[in-house]
Structure 1
Protein backbone atom coordinates (compact mmCIF):
# COMPACT_ATOMS: atom_id res chain seq x y z
CA UNK A 1 0.00 0.00 0.00
CA UNK A 2 1.37 3.40 -0.97
CA UNK A 3 1.72 6.27 1.48
CA UNK A 4 -1.00 8.14 -0.43
CA UNK A 5 -3.39 5.20 -0.05
CA UNK A 6 -2.58 4.93 3.66
CA UNK A 7 -3.29 8.64 4.09
CA UNK A 8 -6.66 8.28 2.40
CA UNK A 9 -7.61 5.47 4.77
CA UNK A 10 -6.49 7.41 7.86
CA UNK A 11 -8.34 10.56 6.76
CA UNK A 12 -11.52 8.64 5.97
CA UNK A 13 -11.42 6.80 9.30
CA UNK A 14 -10.92 10.02 11.27
CA UNK A 15 -13.74 11.78 9.41
CA UNK A 16 -16.05 8.83 10.08
CA UNK A 17 -15.44 8.88 13.83
CA UNK A 18 -15.66 12.68 13.91
CA UNK A 19 -19.09 12.50 12.27
CA UNK A 20 -20.38 10.75 15.39
CA UNK A 21 -18.31 12.42 18.11
CA UNK A 22 -17.55 16.02 17.10
CA UNK A 23 -20.54 18.19 16.12
CA UNK A 24 -20.11 20.72 13.35
CA UNK A 25 -18.67 23.90 14.82
CA UNK A 26 -19.01 27.06 12.77
CA UNK A 27 -16.67 29.00 15.04
CA UNK A 28 -13.84 26.51 14.64
CA UNK A 29 -14.51 26.39 10.90
CA UNK A 30 -14.17 30.19 10.73
CA UNK A 31 -10.92 30.01 12.69
CA UNK A 32 -9.48 27.51 10.21
CA UNK A 33 -10.69 29.59 7.25
CA UNK A 34 -9.30 32.85 8.64
CA UNK A 35 -5.95 31.26 9.43
CA UNK A 36 -5.62 29.92 5.90
CA UNK A 37 -6.82 33.18 4.35
CA UNK A 38 -4.02 34.95 6.21
CA UNK A 39 -1.38 32.55 4.94
CA UNK A 40 -0.74 30.53 8.10
CA UNK A 41 0.56 27.01 7.62
CA UNK A 42 -1.98 24.21 7.95
CA UNK A 43 -0.12 22.61 10.87
CA UNK A 44 -2.49 23.06 13.78
CA UNK A 45 -3.90 20.02 15.56
CA UNK A 46 -6.81 18.22 13.92
CA UNK A 47 -10.37 18.47 15.22
CA UNK A 48 -10.04 15.07 16.89
CA UNK A 49 -6.77 16.06 18.54
CA UNK A 50 -8.21 19.40 19.60
CA UNK A 51 -11.14 17.70 21.27
CA UNK A 52 -8.78 15.24 22.97
CA UNK A 53 -6.84 18.16 24.46
CA UNK A 54 -10.12 19.79 25.49
CA UNK A 55 -11.38 16.64 27.20
CA UNK A 56 -8.03 16.05 28.87
CA UNK A 57 -8.02 19.57 30.32
CA UNK A 58 -11.58 19.11 31.59
CA UNK A 59 -10.86 15.67 33.02
CA UNK A 60 -8.14 17.04 35.32
CA UNK A 61 -10.12 20.17 36.19
CA UNK A 62 -7.50 22.43 34.62
CA UNK A 63 -7.88 26.12 35.42
CA UNK A 64 -4.47 27.32 34.27
CA UNK A 65 -3.00 26.13 30.96
CA UNK A 66 0.24 27.05 29.20
CA UNK A 67 0.64 26.61 25.46
CA UNK A 68 3.97 26.95 23.66
CA UNK A 69 3.19 27.80 20.04
CA UNK A 70 -0.05 29.63 19.23
CA UNK A 71 -0.20 29.66 15.42
CA UNK A 72 -3.79 30.76 14.62
CA UNK A 73 -5.22 29.91 18.03
CA UNK A 74 -7.04 26.72 17.02
CA UNK A 75 -5.79 24.55 19.89
CA UNK A 76 -5.89 27.64 22.10
CA UNK A 77 -9.64 27.82 21.46
CA UNK A 78 -10.14 24.21 22.51
CA UNK A 79 -8.21 24.89 25.73
CA UNK A 80 -10.00 28.16 26.48
CA UNK A 81 -13.34 26.40 26.10
CA UNK A 82 -12.15 23.77 28.59
CA UNK A 83 -11.19 26.06 31.46
CA UNK A 84 -13.89 27.62 33.66
CA UNK A 85 -14.77 31.32 33.49
CA UNK A 86 -12.18 32.09 36.14
CA UNK A 87 -9.56 29.99 34.34
CA UNK A 88 -6.86 31.21 32.00
CA UNK A 89 -4.76 30.10 29.04
CA UNK A 90 -1.33 31.61 28.47
CA UNK A 91 0.01 31.02 24.97
CA UNK A 92 3.43 31.92 23.58
CA UNK A 93 4.13 32.88 19.96
CA UNK A 94 7.18 34.28 18.18
CA UNK A 95 5.47 35.41 14.95
CA UNK A 96 3.59 38.75 15.06
CA UNK A 97 1.38 37.66 12.14
CA UNK A 98 0.28 34.58 14.08
CA UNK A 99 -0.46 36.72 17.13
CA UNK A 100 -2.60 39.06 15.04
CA UNK A 101 -4.56 36.22 13.43
CA UNK A 102 -4.94 34.32 16.70
CA UNK A 103 -6.28 37.45 18.39
CA UNK A 104 -8.88 37.80 15.62
CA UNK A 105 -9.81 34.14 15.92
CA UNK A 106 -10.17 34.24 19.70
CA UNK A 107 -12.39 37.30 19.33
CA UNK A 108 -14.53 35.34 16.88
CA UNK A 109 -14.79 32.59 19.50
CA UNK A 110 -15.61 35.08 22.27
CA UNK A 111 -12.66 33.88 24.34
CA UNK A 112 -10.26 36.82 24.43
CA UNK A 113 -10.99 37.35 28.12
CA UNK A 114 -9.62 33.89 28.97
CA UNK A 115 -6.41 34.05 26.93
CA UNK A 116 -3.14 35.92 27.21
CA UNK A 117 -0.94 35.79 24.10
CA UNK A 118 2.69 36.66 24.76
CA UNK A 119 4.76 37.68 21.73
CA UNK A 120 8.43 36.69 21.66
CA UNK A 121 10.82 33.75 21.53
CA UNK A 122 9.30 31.07 23.77
CA UNK A 123 12.58 30.16 25.48
CA UNK A 124 13.00 33.78 26.58
CA UNK A 125 9.38 34.18 27.65
CA UNK A 126 9.45 30.95 29.64
CA UNK A 127 12.38 32.32 31.65
CA UNK A 128 10.10 35.10 32.89
CA UNK A 129 7.22 32.86 33.97
CA UNK A 130 6.87 31.61 37.54
CA UNK A 131 4.97 28.69 39.08
CA UNK A 132 4.00 30.90 42.00
CA UNK A 133 1.54 31.75 43.35
CA UNK A 134 -0.35 29.22 41.18
CA UNK A 135 1.40 26.67 38.93
CA UNK A 136 0.00 25.51 35.63
CA UNK A 137 -2.17 22.39 35.50
CA UNK A 138 -1.32 21.47 31.91
CA UNK A 139 1.33 22.50 29.37
CA UNK A 140 1.02 21.85 25.64
CA UNK A 141 4.22 22.21 23.60
CA UNK A 142 3.70 22.60 19.85
CA UNK A 143 6.32 25.02 18.60
CA UNK A 144 9.68 24.65 16.82
CA UNK A 145 10.75 21.07 17.45
CA UNK A 146 14.40 21.97 17.88
CA UNK A 147 13.46 23.64 21.18
CA UNK A 148 11.46 20.74 22.62
CA UNK A 149 13.95 19.80 25.34
CA UNK A 150 14.32 23.41 26.48
CA UNK A 151 10.59 23.98 26.49
CA UNK A 152 10.00 20.77 28.41
CA UNK A 153 12.47 21.69 31.15
CA UNK A 154 10.67 24.97 31.69
CA UNK A 155 7.28 23.27 31.53
CA UNK A 156 8.29 20.87 34.28
CA UNK A 157 9.33 23.82 36.43
CA UNK A 158 6.04 25.61 35.83
CA UNK A 159 3.53 22.77 36.14
CA UNK A 160 2.15 21.45 39.43
CA UNK A 161 2.84 18.00 40.79
CA UNK A 162 0.35 15.70 39.13
CA UNK A 163 0.18 18.12 36.22
CA UNK A 164 0.50 17.08 32.59
CA UNK A 165 2.90 18.07 29.84
CA UNK A 166 2.16 17.13 26.23
CA UNK A 167 4.69 17.56 23.45
CA UNK A 168 3.31 17.24 19.93
CA UNK A 169 4.87 15.93 16.71
CA UNK A 170 7.45 13.60 18.23
CA UNK A 171 7.10 10.60 15.87
CA UNK A 172 7.28 12.40 12.52
CA UNK A 173 6.37 9.56 10.15
CA UNK A 174 8.61 7.24 12.16
CA UNK A 175 11.69 9.31 11.26
CA UNK A 176 12.67 9.83 14.92
CA UNK A 177 13.49 6.12 15.15
CA UNK A 178 15.59 6.25 11.96
CA UNK A 179 19.00 7.08 13.38
CA UNK A 180 20.35 7.88 9.93
CA UNK A 181 17.96 10.84 9.75
CA UNK A 182 19.67 13.98 11.04
CA UNK A 183 16.88 16.47 10.36
CA UNK A 184 16.91 19.21 13.00
CA UNK A 185 13.28 18.63 13.99
CA UNK A 186 13.89 14.90 14.31
CA UNK A 187 16.96 15.57 16.43
CA UNK A 188 14.85 17.86 18.61
CA UNK A 189 12.47 14.99 19.35
CA UNK A 190 15.41 12.72 20.20
CA UNK A 191 16.87 15.26 22.63
CA UNK A 192 13.51 15.40 24.40
CA UNK A 193 13.50 11.63 24.79
CA UNK A 194 17.00 11.74 26.30
CA UNK A 195 15.85 14.35 28.80
CA UNK A 196 12.82 12.28 29.76
CA UNK A 197 14.83 9.08 30.14
CA UNK A 198 17.17 10.76 32.62
CA UNK A 199 14.48 12.56 34.66
CA UNK A 200 13.11 10.64 37.68
CA UNK A 201 10.59 13.41 38.41
CA UNK A 202 8.37 12.60 35.42
CA UNK A 203 6.75 9.51 33.98
CA UNK A 204 6.09 9.61 30.25
CA UNK A 205 4.97 7.68 27.21
CA UNK A 206 4.68 8.40 23.50
CA UNK A 207 1.44 7.67 21.65
CA UNK A 208 1.61 7.32 17.87
CA UNK A 209 -1.28 8.77 15.89
CA UNK A 210 -2.63 8.54 12.34
CA UNK A 211 -5.36 10.65 10.80
CA UNK A 212 -5.93 13.64 8.56
CA UNK A 213 -2.60 15.10 9.73
CA UNK A 214 -0.70 11.96 8.73
CA UNK A 215 1.47 9.66 10.84
CA UNK A 216 2.88 11.32 13.94
CA UNK A 217 2.44 11.20 17.71
CA UNK A 218 2.72 13.02 21.01
CA UNK A 219 4.58 12.48 24.27
CA UNK A 220 2.46 12.54 27.42
CA UNK A 221 4.35 13.26 30.65
CA UNK A 222 3.12 13.35 34.24
CA UNK A 223 5.03 15.35 36.83
CA UNK A 224 5.46 13.09 39.83
Structure 2
Protein backbone atom coordinates (compact mmCIF):
# COMPACT_ATOMS: atom_id res chain seq x y z
CA UNK A 1 0.00 0.00 0.00
CA UNK A 2 1.42 3.40 -0.98
CA UNK A 3 0.71 6.77 0.65
CA UNK A 4 -2.22 7.62 -1.65
CA UNK A 5 -3.84 4.23 -1.10
CA UNK A 6 -3.45 4.60 2.66
CA UNK A 7 -5.08 8.05 2.67
CA UNK A 8 -7.93 6.83 0.48
CA UNK A 9 -8.49 3.75 2.63
CA UNK A 10 -9.15 6.01 5.61
CA UNK A 11 -10.93 9.03 4.18
CA UNK A 12 -12.50 8.12 0.83
CA UNK A 13 -15.82 6.35 1.27
CA UNK A 14 -18.13 4.79 -1.28
CA UNK A 15 -20.23 7.55 -2.85
CA UNK A 16 -22.95 6.46 -5.25
CA UNK A 17 -23.75 10.03 -6.33
CA UNK A 18 -20.18 10.82 -7.39
CA UNK A 19 -19.75 7.38 -8.92
CA UNK A 20 -22.81 8.09 -11.07
CA UNK A 21 -21.20 11.36 -12.20
CA UNK A 22 -18.12 9.48 -13.39
CA UNK A 23 -20.35 6.98 -15.22
CA UNK A 24 -22.22 9.81 -16.93
CA UNK A 25 -18.95 11.42 -18.04
CA UNK A 26 -17.80 8.13 -19.56
CA UNK A 27 -21.20 7.54 -21.18
CA UNK A 28 -21.01 10.93 -22.90
CA UNK A 29 -17.53 10.29 -24.29
CA UNK A 30 -15.94 13.01 -22.17
CA UNK A 31 -12.42 12.80 -20.76
CA UNK A 32 -12.56 11.72 -17.14
CA UNK A 33 -10.45 14.52 -15.69
CA UNK A 34 -12.60 15.25 -12.67
CA UNK A 35 -10.93 15.99 -9.36
CA UNK A 36 -9.81 12.95 -7.40
CA UNK A 37 -12.03 11.74 -4.52
CA UNK A 38 -9.60 13.00 -1.88
CA UNK A 39 -9.49 16.45 -3.50
CA UNK A 40 -13.28 16.42 -3.58
CA UNK A 41 -13.35 15.74 0.15
CA UNK A 42 -10.93 18.59 0.80
CA UNK A 43 -13.07 20.99 -1.25
CA UNK A 44 -16.16 20.17 0.78
CA UNK A 45 -14.23 20.60 4.01
CA UNK A 46 -12.69 23.91 2.92
CA UNK A 47 -16.05 25.36 1.91
CA UNK A 48 -17.64 24.31 5.20
CA UNK A 49 -14.83 25.57 7.42
CA UNK A 50 -14.53 28.88 5.54
CA UNK A 51 -18.25 29.59 5.82
CA UNK A 52 -18.40 30.48 2.13
CA UNK A 53 -21.82 31.35 0.72
CA UNK A 54 -20.87 32.39 -2.83
CA UNK A 55 -18.60 30.04 -4.79
CA UNK A 56 -17.07 30.49 -8.23
CA UNK A 57 -15.93 27.38 -10.05
CA UNK A 58 -13.76 27.77 -13.17
CA UNK A 59 -14.18 24.49 -15.05
CA UNK A 60 -17.31 22.38 -14.53
CA UNK A 61 -16.82 19.29 -16.70
CA UNK A 62 -19.51 16.82 -15.57
CA UNK A 63 -20.26 18.32 -12.17
CA UNK A 64 -18.08 16.18 -9.89
CA UNK A 65 -16.24 19.08 -8.26
CA UNK A 66 -19.42 21.16 -8.37
CA UNK A 67 -21.20 18.63 -6.17
CA UNK A 68 -18.25 18.52 -3.77
CA UNK A 69 -18.28 22.32 -3.52
CA UNK A 70 -22.06 22.54 -3.15
CA UNK A 71 -22.01 19.99 -0.34
CA UNK A 72 -20.16 22.53 1.78
CA UNK A 73 -22.62 25.37 1.16
CA UNK A 74 -25.41 26.45 3.49
CA UNK A 75 -28.93 26.27 2.05
CA UNK A 76 -28.80 29.96 1.08
CA UNK A 77 -25.43 29.53 -0.65
CA UNK A 78 -24.88 29.55 -4.39
CA UNK A 79 -22.41 28.11 -6.89
CA UNK A 80 -21.52 29.95 -10.10
CA UNK A 81 -19.79 27.62 -12.52
CA UNK A 82 -17.96 28.44 -15.75
CA UNK A 83 -17.70 25.88 -18.54
CA UNK A 84 -16.48 26.21 -22.11
CA UNK A 85 -18.81 23.59 -23.58
CA UNK A 86 -22.59 23.91 -23.33
CA UNK A 87 -22.91 20.12 -23.52
CA UNK A 88 -20.67 19.72 -20.48
CA UNK A 89 -22.51 22.42 -18.53
CA UNK A 90 -25.84 20.73 -19.26
CA UNK A 91 -24.52 17.40 -17.99
CA UNK A 92 -23.06 19.07 -14.91
CA UNK A 93 -26.37 20.76 -14.14
CA UNK A 94 -28.22 17.48 -14.59
CA UNK A 95 -25.86 15.78 -12.14
CA UNK A 96 -26.16 18.59 -9.59
CA UNK A 97 -29.94 18.37 -9.83
CA UNK A 98 -29.77 14.64 -9.11
CA UNK A 99 -27.56 15.43 -6.10
CA UNK A 100 -30.12 17.94 -4.81
CA UNK A 101 -28.26 21.15 -5.71
CA UNK A 102 -29.94 22.12 -8.98
CA UNK A 103 -31.44 25.30 -7.54
CA UNK A 104 -28.13 26.41 -6.05
CA UNK A 105 -26.08 26.59 -9.25
CA UNK A 106 -25.83 28.92 -12.25
CA UNK A 107 -23.75 28.13 -15.34
CA UNK A 108 -21.95 30.52 -17.66
CA UNK A 109 -20.84 28.89 -20.90
CA UNK A 110 -18.18 29.89 -23.41
CA UNK A 111 -14.61 31.07 -22.90
CA UNK A 112 -13.94 31.44 -19.19
CA UNK A 113 -12.06 34.71 -19.58
CA UNK A 114 -15.11 36.29 -21.24
CA UNK A 115 -17.36 34.93 -18.50
CA UNK A 116 -15.01 36.30 -15.86
CA UNK A 117 -15.08 39.71 -17.51
CA UNK A 118 -18.89 39.52 -17.46
CA UNK A 119 -18.90 38.65 -13.77
CA UNK A 120 -16.62 41.61 -13.16
CA UNK A 121 -19.01 43.91 -15.01
CA UNK A 122 -21.88 42.51 -12.95
CA UNK A 123 -19.83 43.35 -9.82
CA UNK A 124 -20.14 39.80 -8.52
CA UNK A 125 -18.03 38.85 -5.52
CA UNK A 126 -17.17 35.42 -4.18
CA UNK A 127 -16.10 33.84 -0.89
CA UNK A 128 -14.50 30.79 -2.50
CA UNK A 129 -12.99 30.38 -5.97
CA UNK A 130 -11.93 27.01 -7.37
CA UNK A 131 -9.72 26.93 -10.47
CA UNK A 132 -9.57 23.68 -12.46
CA UNK A 133 -9.65 24.50 -16.15
CA UNK A 134 -7.13 24.89 -19.01
CA UNK A 135 -3.74 25.18 -17.35
CA UNK A 136 -2.33 27.75 -19.78
CA UNK A 137 -4.75 30.35 -18.45
CA UNK A 138 -4.17 29.77 -14.73
CA UNK A 139 -2.28 33.07 -14.32
CA UNK A 140 -5.13 34.92 -16.08
CA UNK A 141 -7.74 33.14 -13.98
CA UNK A 142 -5.86 34.12 -10.87
CA UNK A 143 -5.83 37.80 -11.88
CA UNK A 144 -9.60 37.77 -12.26
CA UNK A 145 -10.04 35.73 -9.09
CA UNK A 146 -8.19 38.35 -7.07
CA UNK A 147 -10.51 41.02 -8.46
CA UNK A 148 -13.66 38.98 -7.80
CA UNK A 149 -12.71 37.74 -4.33
CA UNK A 150 -14.21 39.12 -1.15
CA UNK A 151 -11.80 39.92 1.69
CA UNK A 152 -11.03 36.65 3.44
CA UNK A 153 -12.00 34.56 0.40
CA UNK A 154 -10.23 31.32 -0.44
CA UNK A 155 -8.71 30.80 -3.89
CA UNK A 156 -7.93 27.16 -4.63
CA UNK A 157 -6.10 25.78 -7.67
CA UNK A 158 -5.91 22.09 -8.62
CA UNK A 159 -3.18 20.20 -10.53
CA UNK A 160 -0.48 22.62 -9.44
CA UNK A 161 2.27 19.99 -9.35
CA UNK A 162 1.68 18.75 -12.90
CA UNK A 163 2.92 15.28 -11.91
CA UNK A 164 6.23 16.75 -10.80
CA UNK A 165 6.94 18.77 -13.92
CA UNK A 166 6.78 22.11 -12.10
CA UNK A 167 9.89 21.30 -10.05
CA UNK A 168 11.74 19.51 -12.85
CA UNK A 169 13.84 22.16 -14.60
CA UNK A 170 13.99 20.07 -17.77
CA UNK A 171 10.32 20.83 -18.44
CA UNK A 172 9.97 24.20 -20.17
CA UNK A 173 6.70 23.75 -22.07
CA UNK A 174 4.11 26.53 -21.95
CA UNK A 175 1.62 24.60 -19.81
CA UNK A 176 4.20 23.91 -17.12
CA UNK A 177 5.47 27.48 -17.23
CA UNK A 178 1.94 28.79 -16.73
CA UNK A 179 1.44 26.66 -13.64
CA UNK A 180 4.84 27.75 -12.30
CA UNK A 181 3.79 31.37 -12.77
CA UNK A 182 0.49 30.69 -10.98
CA UNK A 183 2.26 29.00 -8.07
CA UNK A 184 4.82 31.78 -7.80
CA UNK A 185 2.18 34.50 -7.79
CA UNK A 186 0.16 32.73 -5.11
CA UNK A 187 3.29 32.26 -3.02
CA UNK A 188 4.59 35.83 -3.34
CA UNK A 189 1.48 38.05 -3.51
CA UNK A 190 1.52 40.18 -0.33
CA UNK A 191 -2.28 40.15 -0.24
CA UNK A 192 -2.57 36.35 -0.19
CA UNK A 193 -1.68 33.83 2.50
CA UNK A 194 -1.12 30.48 0.83
CA UNK A 195 0.21 26.94 1.04
CA UNK A 196 0.51 24.04 -1.37
CA UNK A 197 -0.81 20.63 -0.34
CA UNK A 198 1.05 17.74 -2.02
CA UNK A 199 -2.04 15.58 -2.35
CA UNK A 200 -3.49 14.31 -5.61
CA UNK A 201 -1.70 16.30 -8.31
CA UNK A 202 -1.19 19.20 -5.92
CA UNK A 203 -3.70 21.63 -4.43
CA UNK A 204 -2.79 25.26 -3.78
CA UNK A 205 -4.92 27.04 -1.17
CA UNK A 206 -4.72 30.79 -0.73
CA UNK A 207 -6.64 33.19 1.49
CA UNK A 208 -7.12 36.79 0.43
CA UNK A 209 -6.17 39.06 3.32
CA UNK A 210 -8.87 41.23 4.85
**Structures share a fold, TM > 0.5?**
yes
Q: Report the counterpart of residue 37 of structure 2 in structure 1.
A: 47
Q: Give, in angstroms, the shift of residue 205 of structure 1.
A: 1.9
Asked if residue 162 in structure 1 is aligned to residue 152 in structure 2, the reply is yes
Query: Are the counterparts in 1 of residues 187 and 195 from structure 2 also a CA contact under 8 Å?
Result: no
Write out aligned runs for 1:1-224 (5 A). Answer: 9-18=2-11, 22-130=12-120, 135-210=125-200, 216-224=201-209
CA RMSD of aligned residues (A): 1.9
C-alpha distance 140-156 of structure 1, shift in aligned 2 (>3 A): same
Q: Which runs of 5+ in 2 are unaligned?
A: none
Alpha carbons 1:131, 1:158 under 8 Å: kept: no
Deviations 1:131-170 (A, max 9, x none): 9876211100000010001101111111111111011111
Contact (CA 8 Å) 2:124, 2:148: kept in 1 or not? no
Moved over 4 A (4+): 131-134
Shifted more, 187-196 versus 167-176: the winner is 187-196
SS at match of 2:203: strand
Unaligned regions of 5+ residues in structure 1, if any?
1-7, 211-215
Shift of the alpha carbon at 1:80? 1.3
Q: 1:131, 1:140 → 2: CA distance?
A: 20
CA distance in 2, matches of 1:10, 1:159: 34
Displacement, 1:171? Answer: 0.6
Normalising by structure 2, we get a TM-score of 0.91
- 1:80–1:131 Cα change, 3 Å: farther
Cα distance in 2 for residues equivalent to 1:31 and 1:197: 33
Distance in 2 between the 1:115 and 1:91 partners?
A: 7
- Choose 1 or 2 for highest CA Rg: 1
111-120 vs 35-44, which moves further: 35-44
Question: Are the aligned partners of 1:94 and 1:119 in contact in 2 as well (CA < 8 Å)?
Answer: yes
Q: How many residues end up aligned between the 2 structures?
A: 209
Contact 1:131 1:157 (8 Å CA) reproduced: no
Query: 1:85 & 1:123 partners in 2: Cα distance?
Result: 29
Q: For 1:72, what is the secondary structure of its paired residue?
A: coil
The answer to whether the 8 Å contact 2:86/2:109 transfers is yes
Q: Is the 8 A contact 1:71 1:99 kept in 2?
A: yes
